[in-house]
Structure 1
């Protein structure tokens, strides 16, 4: 635990450094997921295990954000676990302990338009709350928004198995008790009016079924007390568009994303970002020290993923 506390102190300094740079550049960053919850819900930030921090920024200011962070001493590692160019990229800086501390800088909540449209940066910012324990200007989503996002994030990673990274080590995602503890603590922090807003907002975003399942699992494993009328209001929720997307076969998921995208230009740009990352990333990630022809590198990246997903059946 001493090692975790030491890591936390160094990580807090790096996150504060990033926030200072972003605020100075005129952005309105929002801490999300683990670090936001660590400093607003948990008795000690180090108790909330995580390997990096997530910051959401305005999409139209991402170039300014990277310029400001690079000037502040952050670098952008190219060889990094499946960087998602559709919604964000990674920056890192060294702490006083000499170790690297990563920040996932996002300009969309998810690379999928179906999931990204659940919340925008602007609305999350309008309802945000301070994170004074970390930084005098830091803000994060409200407890209601954070709970809804936590429920969707958990469902996505459980239904579409992936890996999480802690201190540079990959771990397969099962049903992380950490995510349920987030949900348990978030729901416990809500007053009566916020509980009612939670149910109403879940219905607005077509994720009532996901919220119901998250609260039911949290109750079963952690004893989360959900009032009868709140549970009753969610009881009849049918799988919504988000659940159908998460359960969809790959081809159908692509179609749903295209339908959810507002313009043809955005569709083409989004697909190109995902399937054709920058050449410097491709060479660092796939060349294996050889001067390979760039089209070969793209094939080396795409073909294994196509083979894996074509034969993966969607859930009913």
Structure 2
């Protein structure tokens, strides 16, 4: 069966359709982050052995790991708050508690936090004191908009943090969904402690669509598309209007329509289709720089788009410098010390 048809059959099973479960199906579900969901689906519950046992074991592992991850998030948020840093929990960790019937059904490889740009140094210091080490990657004032930290706990479980100060890496998103606006509409996430807040459901859907368009336009796993399905299904009429209003004001209607249409392709959902159609109509007569993301063919095209959409020449110069002369920690991680001067 071609990959597209296999994925559509798996997507249908997540929505209750029958599906014969074998190791190939389970492998596909694991690759796409939906094996726990499959285990809870009618098809998963009806699966024959040994497939059923494999799904049950996977779900138990997810439940244990999720509890460990959630406990660590509570600790991290408390430590950040003590430093005066109040991030929003976004993406997987937020969605797991906001729209899934059980957080174990929404796996995540890391925890994404959104902070104010002004809090970067305090956040990094707090995480270092909490036992986290920064991962070496290209960084600077404009190039990426995030940094990564990791620690292993006492039992060896890795905890990865992805700390953002803009909602996506491309610079054209620098002023989209600023954190102060998101905080004004944020909701509590009690399961992650007294300090935990996440975006409203409407804002979370905008963020999820932007994430796909900016970083995974042609490589989205089924889990991320299922996020869109659950978020869109959860919105009431007022939230639908708030979502569309935010998308239009942020000039991201075309890319959000594309993401919702991609999800509809696999889940065949009338609500997704209607929302995507509404956004296409909004985007039809608008000039949206973000729409160019849908036609990028090469990595360098992303840099060229950043340069074209940067508001000042100073920002363009800084961006080029950070691409051409990466930070020393990143270069040390890629080259031996003796060769570091030649690496630049």
TM-score by length of 1: 0.79
Higher helix proportion: 2
| Alignment CA distance shift 1:68-1:106 (3 Å) | same
User: Does 1:240 find its partner at 2:288?
Assistant: yes
Select which of 100, 112, 115 maps to 2:173: 115
For the residue of structure 1 that corresponds to 2:270, the secondary structure is coil
Aligned length: 279
What residue number does 2:5 align with? none
1:109-143 superposed Cα distances (whole Å, 9 cap, x missing partner):
22321123222122111221111121222111111
Instruction: Between 1-10 and 177-186, report the one with greater CA deviation.
Output: 1-10
Alignment of 1:192 onto 2:237: yes
Residue of structure 2 in register with 1:292 after alignment = 338
Partners of 1:228 and 1:3 in 2: how far apart? 35
- Output the CA distance in 2 between the equivalents of 1:98 and 1:138: 25
User: Which shifted more, 92-101 or 19-28?
Assistant: 92-101
The 5 A counterparts of 1:107-256 are 107-159=165-217, 174-226=219-271, 230=275, 233-236=278-281, 237-238=283-284, 240-248=288-296, 253-256=302-305
Aligned twin of 1:258: 307
The superposition leaves residues 181-218 of structure 1 with CA deviations (integer Å, 9 ceiling, x where unpaired) of 11111111111011112122212122222222333333
Offset, 1:17:
1.6
| Structure with max Cα Rg | 2
In structure 2, the residue matched to 1:95 is 153
CA 1:221–1:294 in structure 2 vs 1: closer, same or farther (change >3 Å)? same
TM-score normalised by the chain length of structure 2: 0.73
Structure 1, gaps ≥5 residues long: 162-173, 299-316
User: What is the CA distance between 1:178 and its match in structure 2?
Assistant: 0.7
Q: Gaps (5+ residues) in structure 2? A: 1-58
1:52 to 107, 110, 117: 110
- Measured on the aligned residues, the alpha-carbon RMSD in Å equals 2.5
Deviation of the 1:240 alpha carbon: 2.9
Question: Cα 1:266–1:26, aligned 2, differ >3 Å: closer, same or farther?
Answer: farther
Q: CA deviation at 1:31?
A: 0.9
Secondary structure of the 1:97 match is coil
Contact 2:257 2:276 in 1 (8 A): yes
Q: Distance in 2 between matches of 1:19 and 1:203?
A: 32
Answer yes or no: is the 8 Å Cα contact 2:168–2:211 preserved in 1.
Answer: no
Alpha carbons 1:83, 1:89 under 8 Å: kept: no
Name the structure 2 match of 1:311.
Answer: none
